[in-house]
């Protein structure tokens, strides 16, 4: 399924290309920010431990941040947001996906997205929204999520159970699992 969800941009940060012409109408972008592979991901190790406690063995887990931006913005705006705010040019890299469900990162077997349910206030999203406004970008709605890139030979059911018991709380979160091909 992930072959079809085109990744528009996949590059490490640095000099950015000139923004493409803005698409007409309100935009919807999913930004995923990950720690560059050369850095140890302590957060990932913590997540790996949580999964282990929930009965799932994995070789590695890396954690990314997801930002779902919706509103009157174009790709240029998104690049500004990423460069100036969402992605640290030294430690992180990013990719912009048209919608949720991007392929796992760097050859991981599973990618899990965890989001707060729409009924739960997303406080980090509120902070990001304000910070984007400070940068002079259009006012957009922001939801924040977390992605986990999990190297594990487990099956979908097993992963689903383990995630519900460790990384996500079904009372406030919804999550989705994406497998590599």
Partner 1 sequence: MPTHTAIPPQTPETIAICGLRPQDLQAANARHGWSLKEAELAAIQSHFQALKREPTLAELETLAQTWSEHCKHKTFTSPIRYNDGKKTRLIQSLIDETIFKATKQLNRPWCLSVFKDNAGIVAFGSKWALAFKVETHNHPSAIEPYGGAATGVGGVIRDVMGAGLGAKPILNTDVFCFAPPDYDGPLPKGALHPRRVLSGVVCGVRDYGNRMGIPTAAGGLWFDDDYRLNPLVFCGAVGLLPAWAVRKEVKAGDLIIAAGGRTGRDGLHGATFSSAALEGAQLSAVQIGHAINEKKLLDALLTARDKKLYRSLTDCGAGGFSSAIGELAAQCGARVRLEAARLKACDLSPREIWLSESQERMVFAVPPRSLKAFAEIFASEGCETAVLGEFTSSGRLEVTHGKTSVVDLDMRFLHDGLPRIERSAVWAPQKPAPIKAPTHKKSLSQILAECLGHLNVCSREWVVRQYDHEVQGGTVIKPLQGIRHDGPGDACVIWPHAATGDPSDYQGFAVSHGLNPAYGKIDPYRMALACADEALRNLLCVGADISRAVFLDNFCWASPDDPARLGALVRAAEGCRDAALGFGVPFISGKDSLYNQTRDVDGKDLAIPGTLLISAMAPVADVRKALTMEIKGPGNALYLVGWTAEELGGSLFHQVCGRCASCTAPAVDTRIALAAFKSVQSALAKGLVLSAHDLSEGGLGVAAAEMCFTGESGAILDLDKVPRRAPIYSDEILLFSESASRILLEVAPEHEADFIKALRGAPAKRVGTTMANPVFKVTGLDGRVALESDLCDLKSTWQLSLPRRLG
Partner 2 sequence: MKRPRILVLRAAGTNCDLETASACNQVGGAAERVHIDLIRSGKIRLMDFDILILPGGFSYSDDVGAGRILANQIKLYLKELRHFVRLGRPVLGICNGFQALVKAGVLPAAHGGEQTAGFTANDSGRFEARWVHLRLNTQSSCLFFKGLPEMIELPVAHGEGKLVLKSPRQLEELKKNKSIAMQYVSDDGKLAGYPANPNGSIFNIAALSNPEGNCLGMMPHPERYTTRFQHPNWTRQTFVKEGVGLEMFRNAVDYCRG
Phi, psi of 47 (to 5 degrees): -65, -35
Among 65, 77, 79, 105, binds partner 2 (CB under 8 A): 65
Rank residues 65 and 173 by Cβ distance to partner 2 and give the closer one: 65
- For the window 146-165, what string marks contact with partner 1 as x by the rule CB under 8 A? -------------------x
Among 12, 17, 20, 42, binds partner 2 (CB under 8 A): 42
- Distance in angstroms (rounded) separating the CA atoms of residues 103 and 111: 7
DSSP for 132-159, written as a single string: HHHTTPPP-EEEEEEEEEEE----HHHH
**Is 52 an interacting residue with respect to partner 1 (CB under 8 A)?**
yes
- For the window 138-157, what string marks contact with partner 2 as x by the rule CB under 8 A? --------------------
- Number of residues lying near partner 2 (CB under 8 A): 23
Q: Tell me the closest approach of the beta carbon of residue 53 to partner 1, in angstroms.
A: 5
CB 23 within 8 A of CB 75: yes
Tokens of 91: 């430690």
CB 7 within 8 A of CB 103: yes
Which of these segments, 1-9, 37-45, 147-155, 173-181, binds partner 2 (CB under 8 A)?
37-45
- Residue 157 binds which entry of partner 1, partner 2, none, with Cβ cut-offs from 5 to 8 Å by kind? none
CB 68 within 8 A of CB 100: yes
- Distance in angstroms (rounded) separating the CA atoms of residues 77 and 91: 22
**Is 1 an interacting residue with respect to partner 2 (CB under 8 A)?**
no
Site for partner 2 in 99-128 (CB under 8 A): 123-124, 127-128
């Amino acid at each position: 399924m992930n072959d079809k969800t085109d990744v528009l941009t996949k590059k490490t940060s640095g000099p950015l290309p000139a923004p493409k012409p803005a698409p007409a109408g309100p935009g919807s972008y999913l930004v995923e920010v990950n720690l560059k592979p050369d850095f140890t991901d302590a957060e990932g190790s913590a997540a790996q431990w949580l999964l282990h406690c929930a009965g799932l063995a994995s070789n590695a887990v890396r954690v990314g941040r997801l930002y779902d931006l919706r509103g009157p913005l174009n790709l240029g705006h998104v690049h500004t947001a990423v460069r100036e705010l969402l992605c640290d040019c030294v430690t992180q890299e990013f990719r912009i996906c048209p919608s949720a469900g991007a392929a796992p990162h760097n050859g991981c077997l599973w990618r899990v997205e965890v989001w707060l349910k729409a009924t739960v206030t997303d406080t980090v999203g509120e902070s990001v929204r304000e910070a984007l406004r400070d940068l002079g970008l259009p006012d957009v709605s922001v939801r924040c999520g977390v992605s986990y890139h999990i190297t594990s030979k487990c099956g979908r059911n097993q992963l689903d159970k383990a995630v519900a018991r460790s990384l996500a709380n079904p009372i406030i979160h919804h999550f989705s699992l994406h497998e590599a091909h």
